[in-house]
Structure formats: C-alpha cells, structure tokens
Amino acid sequence: MSIFVIAEVGINHNGDVKIAKQLIDVAKIAGADAVKFQKRTIDLVYTKEMLDSLRESPWGKTQRAQKEGLEFGLAEYKEIDSYCKGKGIEWFASAWDIESQKFLRQFNLKYNKIASAMIVYEDLLNEVASEKKHTFISTGMTKFEQIDRAVEIFKKADCPFELMHCVSTYPMNDEDANLNCIGTLRDRYHCNVGYSGHEVGLAVSYAAAALGITSLERHITLDRAMYGSDQAASVETAGFIQLVGAVRKIEKAMGDGKISIHPKEVPIAKKLRAHIPFESHE
C-alpha cells in the first residue's frame, strides 16, 4: 500500500484564495494525494476575552481581526472544492468545533482529520466518527489514556481510522521526533500509523517513510518567511516536490524483506564465482 501523502495547507494561505490555489498546485505537481485545510468557528473556539485582546496583524489590531482574516467561509471553500476537482486532487479539513464539522459535510469529502489539539474533544470525535469516513487522527500532546479513548470511540462507531504520530512543536527539533513511537502505536492499537511532521527539513520524514508509515502529512508554504505561526514549520515548493519524490523511491526500496538471490544477481554471481568449485555455489 502506497503512503498517502497529505499537503497540509492549514492556514498558510493567509486568508487569500489565490495563495490557497497556488499551494494546491504545488501539492498536485509534487504528487501528493490530498491537500488539507483547517476550519474553525471563531466564536466557539476562542473566548471573547481572547478575541478582544490586542494583536498586531495584517488584518487589524485585535486577535479577532487576525483570526477572522485567516478563516475561509462558504464562498472560499466552494472555490477550493471546484479548483481541487478540476486539478484531480482530494481535499479535506480538520474541524476545531462541531459546527465546523457540520459545515464541511456539504462538500461530501472522502476524509476527515482529528488535529492533535482536538483528540481530547470527545463530542467532536463522536460527531466525526458518526460520518464513518476514513479519519486521520494525530496524537500530539497526548498520553495513552487519551489515545485509548479516541480509538475506542472510532471502533465503537465502526469508523475507519489511522493514527498519526505527531510532536506538536512548531518547528519541531529533530531530536524530539521519537519516531519509534510509530511502532509503539502500531503494536498497541493494531492499526495503520502515519506521521504528521513539523520539523525543518526532510530527513526525519524520510526516516518515518522507512518505518512503514501509511500516511505522511507535512505543512506546505510558498515562503517560510511569510506571516503566520505555521510557516517556519512548513516545507517550500522545491522541498515538497523533493520530499514526495524521495518517499516514493523509499517505498520501492523497502521491498518485501525476503532473503533470496535476485534474478538480476544471477549472471553476476556466475561471473564473480566462476573460480569457485561448482559444489560451493549452492
């Protein structure tokens, strides 16, 4: 089974559909399987006090202005939906509240995503699981008990899912990756396990691919110096194209693990072992 590569746009579009379309183009050119966004109902996700507090941004001087400036509504998502269909690439989004999850239903998307921050929000998990769509569940900032509960909810709802090992720092230091958790999650839950990375560079993602992940999610950006909290933990165009290409090569290189003489080795073995008595060739 090929690794399902997700290009995480998130909010790196900075509220601009043109930038979102450029990032969709990057994902398509690189060979990603899907692009992912984030959807929030601002007044449900954040408190009034927080939204009224000061924050300088391109959209104004308050947290509300910044959050609303980054949030796409129905018109923008209709445009994204149409654009992705035209490009032949899937899209989906991680909802941060139940109203946002219900909003996403109108697009009849194939996949759902539980962000690491939301894995402890059981009402949302139940809402998502009720749709019975394949769901990617990130496990950043969690303990076993919290992952146990999420898995229980999805199994009870008979909703297909896979876990994604994740460390929720932005950007993540390579030494914090703890990629051996991929095997730990697989052994404990007997399910497919992917990797959602926030590191700078590509090496850690390559290692994850070699550990048998079934999905790989990385944030993408047009420029890591752009405004936004996720930009520094994202991969630019050339890097993302390189990443997907390398992951596909790694998949092929892993093989089936069976020890045998490869057919292409046979003539070479005969040549290099020609001086050895025939009986020793066996």
Superfamily of the domain at 4-281: Aldolase class I (3.20.20.70)
Task: Please name the amino acid found at residue 165.
Answer: H
Alpha helices in 56-180 (DSSP H): 63-70, 74-87, 98-104, 122-129, 144-156
pLDDT at 280: 54
Cβ-based neighbour number of residue 229 at 10 Å: 11
CA distance 73 to 71: 7
Q: What is the pLDDT of residues 137-192, one digit of tens each?
A: 999 999 999 999 999 999 999 999 999 999 999 999 999 999 999 999 999 999 99
pLDDT at 1: 79
Task: Please name the amino acid found at residue 228.
Answer: G
Residue with tokens 């507090």: 53
CA distance 64 to 57: 10
Would you list the domain boundaries of the chain?
4-281
Any bridge partners for residue 92, and if so which?
Answer: 36
Question: Is-contact 70 38, C-beta < 8 A?
Answer: no
Residue 203, both tokens: 């090496």
